[in-house]
Structure 1
């Protein structure tokens, strides 16, 4: 049985909107290393489309240190939970039906692990003046 690992980038002020910030070199290296520990990624439709738009054909102006992450995510097998998409590319396969059953089946396969990321719904960054 392979493990299911969850990861998300979040700032101290509670921001988890990947479009609102650009992770730095340390985060890219760390995440590429974590991706190397997994056989596949498990995404919802929104996260899949966000990642595909940013990494399927990475912007040539991105720093060189994003390259290991770009290579890892492009090569990774992706499972996408969606009831609205009909066709996927980018080394991806649709997951349909009962989500609990589908995830158990994916976990029961031999391998190093599944990597899950993303959040449900809209998440907004909190203003920086928040008091702790």
Structure 2
């Protein structure tokens, strides 16, 4: 069974708007390595469109150290959960029908894992109990506004810490698994 791994940049006050995060070489390398550990990416429409616009054809002004991330995300198989898009490309396909059933089917396929990001789709996936590993990349900044992590979660999710890594600028990534279903480490 392929684990579904979720990763998100978050401020100290829980904001998940990607605009607050300070880009750095070590964080981009970490993200590229995380994506490379997965056989597929699972995105909602908003995250897919944001990633495609930034990384499908990265700006020539982007630092050279962003190239591994751009390459890893471009080469990855992508599944897009959407009710508004009628077609996608960039090595992607639309997920239609029952999301829970589709994600369970994808998880049951052989492979190394599925990676997801964003805010709305992971909220639904957490409510369904489908996320096997959570990674919160916490930036030492208080934003004071914007969308917050798991706003509206139906039930509390108990987590067990399984890993921690420090990055430049005081950023800390902590990995957790649901306490009732430890993932093999």
Residue of structure 2 equivalent to 1:77:
77
Residue of structure 1 equivalent to 2:94:
94
Residue of structure 1 equivalent to 2:114:
114
Residue of structure 2 equivalent to 1:6:
6
Q: Is the 8 A contact 2:9 2:21 kept in 1?
A: no
Residue of structure 2 equivalent to 1:53:
53
- TM superposition shift of 1:22: 4.1
- TM superposition shift of 1:85: 0.6
Match of residue 126, structure 1, among 136, 144, 149: 144
Q: Distance in 2 between matches of 1:113 and 1:32?
A: 14
Q: Distance in 1 between matches of 2:23 and 2:15?
A: 12
Count of equivalent residues: 124
| Structure 1 or 2: more strand by fraction | 2
- TM superposition shift of 1:42: 0.1
In structure 1, list runs of 5 or more residues that go unmatched.
128-132
Q: Distance in 2 between matches of 1:79 and 1:102?
A: 10
Q: Distance in 2 between matches of 1:7 and 1:21?
A: 14
Q: Distance in 1 between matches of 2:79 and 2:20?
A: 25
RMSD over aligned Cα, in angstroms? 1.5
Q: Give the TM-score of the pair, scaled to structure 1.
A: 0.88
Q: Distance in 2 between matches of 1:20 and 1:86?
A: 31
Q: Give the TM-score of the pair, scaled to structure 2.
A: 0.64
Closer, same or farther: CA 26–13 of 1 in aligned 2, 3 Å: farther
- TM superposition shift of 1:10: 1.0
Q: Distance in 2 between matches of 1:42 and 1:73?
A: 11
